Structure 1
Amino acid sequence: MLSKSQARAFFLGGTLFFSVVFLALTVDTIRQTDARTNASNLTESVIKGKEIWENKNCMGCHTIMGEGAYYAPDLTKVVERRGDAWIRVFLDDPQAMFPGERKMTKYNFTDEEKTNIIAFLDWVGKVDMNGWPPKPNITPIINSPKPDASINVKSVEVGTVPAPEKFSQLCTACHAVGGSGGVVGPALDHVGNKFDVAYLNRWLIDPQAVKPGTAMPKLPLSDTERKDIITYLSSLK
């Protein structure tokens, strides 16, 4: 048993010690705030994107930095995961990118508004949050075949044309080549052996017309972009 004087000394000493620890941690937190919150990249575009995020009540469905609703996907690292070009296409018409699935409202954003939204989400993704959100530790269950990891990307492209920019920006979000890319759609390693140029052209112009009910979206590709992608796909044999 402690005497009254010992108990008082223990209480005062403990309070003083933990107060010092608390103050030290507070100072350390303040010292790191600018670097860890990506404050140096807080541009006018980022601020405008945040205003759109709030005005459209995006947090009513989405989550960033662990805050928000869980009805729609977490967007903390969406720019890193999807890329600028894919997000722009998605914002033009969310339903078109995921036929029969996505329920996101079509807001008819201007190009400037899309730029600001992406700038805000890119800024969010570069804030140091000690590894949040964590990487998924499960393999998604899909009906499409998994990419062939035994095939090296370089071996697939030897003697062929390089992947067009639009293919890298959009198609790899769902499809893989040489084990690198998405797993939502089928791997495209040998697609040049399966389909001819005419079929690929019809498919990219309107996937639903070729295969009603397919999950493949109708991408807003120019004639040149579509031709470049078809040339690349035809070389994957």
Structure 2
Amino acid sequence: MNKKQTRLFAVASTGIAVLVLLVLTVDTHRQFPALTNSQNITESVIRGQNVWHAKNCINCHTMLGEGAYYAPDLTKITQHRGTPYLTAFLKDPSQFYDEQKHRRLMPQQDLTDENIADLIAFMDWVSKVDNQGWPPRPILVTGGSIPGTDLSVAQQADRSASGASGELPPGARPVASGNDPIALGEALFSSVTPTCNACHSTAPGVNLAGPTLAGLSTRAQVTIASPEYKGKAKTVEEFIQESIVEPSAYLHPGAMYSAGGTSFMPTTYGKDLTPEQIAHLVAYLASFK
């Protein structure tokens, strides 16, 4: 190439690059309303965004991949936890996590009921933004880290208990691949929306947003036989199914699991899952003796 050809090449390639950038920019802005569901930005959502900024939530949390990676990512938090849980949590975080045990404790923000409702509305709007799969995975913080790993204490215990080290949860039997209902239920446990393992551990004594499922089958038998139980289940399998589709039929003891007679567990599984999928989940959970 001579100097003239080099100059023409540089000018042409720069012009093409600028044109491509302009086209992509225009196309991105064209898609913004659909990607962000801008029609759902209500006054409550706007007020909630103001609360988010006023309380500097991003100093600890991430949202859409932005923020400080000290506390859990909140991009999909309303789908993982639900409004009742988040309302109770924001009113008094100390009822849910202990600083000595979990090492990290969200400070009391002294939010009004309106502040809380608006903040949840904002986070719910964010959860429905088409973020093109970003961040690539939820960032879960449930306790202090295990030295030499990037896992929290609860996550490490859960991995060990659920078979990451070749061991099974106490009382659970080995599962086969293919059409084995327990294996299919185990797959659903970490793939349904919201995922069961976002709130429940399978390790003994590791309680997250929901109680541990270790020993669930044995506990279910005791619960059904107790006078405090007012549900309709007669067997362990019926009790587990009832807990999935009607979580408020029996309220597990503990202020962090329910409030005002309503369980914090989402009530959507009965509508979102087929009877066959629920049966698979029941089979898997009933294997925890």
TM-score using structure 1 length: 0.67
Closer, same or farther: CA 221–24 of 1 in aligned 2, 3 Å: closer
How many Å apart are 1:96 and its aligned residue? 0.9
Quick check: 2:44–2:122 contact (8 Å CA) kept in 1?
Answer: yes
Name stretches of at least 5 consecutive residues in structure 1 with no aligned partner: 154-167, 208-216, 227-235
How many Å apart are 1:141 and its aligned residue? 2.2
Q: Relative to structure 2, which stretch is displaced further, 75-84 or 135-144?
A: 135-144
Equivalent residue for 1:67?
66
% identity of equivalent residues: 38
Equivalent residue for 2:86?
87
Quick check: 2:209–2:256 contact (8 Å CA) kept in 1?
Answer: no
Equivalent residue for 1:212?
none
Aligned residues: 195
**What is the alpha-carbon root mean square deviation over aligned residues?**
3.8
Closer, same or farther: CA 183–94 of 1 in aligned 2, 3 Å: closer
Closer, same or farther: CA 8–82 of 1 in aligned 2, 3 Å: same
Closer, same or farther: CA 20–197 of 1 in aligned 2, 3 Å: same
Quick check: 2:83–2:120 contact (8 Å CA) kept in 1?
Answer: yes
Residues 108-127 of structure 1: pairs in structure 2 closer than 5 A = 108-127=110-129
Tell me which of 142, 148, 173 is aligned to 2:199: 173
Equivalent residue for 2:37?
38
Closer, same or farther: CA 13–76 of 1 in aligned 2, 3 Å: same
Quick check: 2:73–2:138 contact (8 Å CA) kept in 1?
Answer: no
Closer, same or farther: CA 93–135 of 1 in aligned 2, 3 Å: same
2: CA distance between counterparts of 1:8 and 1:192? 78
Residues 195-206 of structure 1: pairs in structure 2 closer than 5 A = 195=223, 196-197=225-226, 204=252
Closer, same or farther: CA 72–46 of 1 in aligned 2, 3 Å: same
Amino acid across the alignment from 1:126: K
Equivalent residue for 2:77?
78
Match status 1:140 vs 2:190: no
1: CA distance between counterparts of 2:134 and 2:89? 24
CA deviations on 1:150-204 (whole Å, 9 max, x unpaired) are 2888xxxxxxxxxxxxxx9xxx93368xxxx988612434422245526889x95
TM-score using structure 2 length: 0.56
Name stretches of at least 5 consecutive residues in structure 2 with no aligned partner: 140-150, 163-168, 173-180, 186-193, 203-207, 231-250, 264-285
